[in-house]
Structure 1
């Protein structure tokens, strides 16, 4: 597993398309229990090299009901973005993750994870890749039970999505407590 991650972190396949160059962010151990499949690292994470080391990560840990020590224990959480590198800026937020990354790496890395009990799909890119179909992200988030025991869909925890959260208060009131219960059953 460590050799595979070393190879993934050295990937330069789409470097010429990345404004800050390649710096793949991916974390896992063979014992990882939960896989966080998200969009791509932001600029702050690219600079620090630490996944979810930003405001989105703070909100995600709040939703999961875990502290930083628990979150950064890779036996608890594997980190597998759709794009391993920062893709650059778009009009609102970051650009989409590079399309080459997930098909190139996900199956191989996931096949090495022998203890996974849940894959959390964070944002539309992950949800649409793993659960294609006609449902939009809001529908997938509200119908989370339909995708269990394998997947749980979440909106992206970015501050940019604060309007989605204000229009959908049921998510933090009803879904987040159930997610936290499930997370603690897995990692405790």
Structure 2
């Protein structure tokens, strides 16, 4: 057996073990006030590692990542790919700063994802996934990887994470409409480049 085969097999078994640990995680149960429901999708061979904020209430209830208005905009308008292509675990590894829905904030919207989740799990996931590119979604994910930098700039730049191309997107949530109105060039120009890169990597 080749060394590359050993590494790949190790990644597969290691990721399965890690997923089992994540699914059993209850670190935030007392914080949330409800039963956590960790959301995971993807294999060690996934071509694109997408890292966002945290699952929405809809995702929490259905167990399907980006099964909401944000996901429909992301797949249909930005990536322009089918549900089958998006949910193919060998295409996308769908990660987030928190694996569970964090609940509603007192002032509206969802709570910020607990930092303990990304510290506990995200970097371990990244070690075990042999992706080609990274896509970060939202300011919280952007801040984690590029502290001190604003998403208003990052969304228009090509960056790298672990030596691999990284693209930063604003969150596609309907609550983020003001951002899109303030920066129309993102939808008019930048989305097309990211769309082409997604299609290139997926071979479509």
What TM-score bracket applies, with the shorter chain setting the length? over 0.9
- Quote the Cα distance in structure 2 between the aligned partners of 1:105 and 1:64: 27
- TM-score for the superposition, normalised by structure 2: 0.87
Counterpart mapping for 1:3-22 below 5 A: 3-22=17-36
Q: Which of 115, 125, 133 in structure 1 is aligned with 2:140? A: 125
Rg: which structure is higher? 2
Q: Which residue of 1 aligns with 2:171?
A: 156
- Quote the Cα distance in structure 2 between the aligned partners of 1:150 and 1:13: 32
- Quote the Cα distance in structure 2 between the aligned partners of 1:181 and 1:20: 40
- TM-score for the superposition, normalised by structure 1: 0.94
Counterpart mapping for 1:131-146 below 5 A: 131-133=146-148, 135-142=149-156, 144-146=157-159
- Quote the Cα distance in structure 1 between the aligned partners of 2:55 and 2:34: 12
Q: Which residue of 1 aligns with 2:99?
A: 84
- Corresponding pairs, count: 185
- Quote the Cα distance in structure 1 between the aligned partners of 2:53 and 2:140: 6
What value does the CA root-mean-square deviation take over the aligned residues? 1.3
Q: Which residue of 2 aligns with 1:27?
A: 41
Q: Which residue of 2 aligns with 1:109?
A: 125
- Quote the Cα distance in structure 2 between the aligned partners of 1:93 and 1:119: 26
- Quote the Cα distance in structure 2 between the aligned partners of 1:54 and 1:151: 24
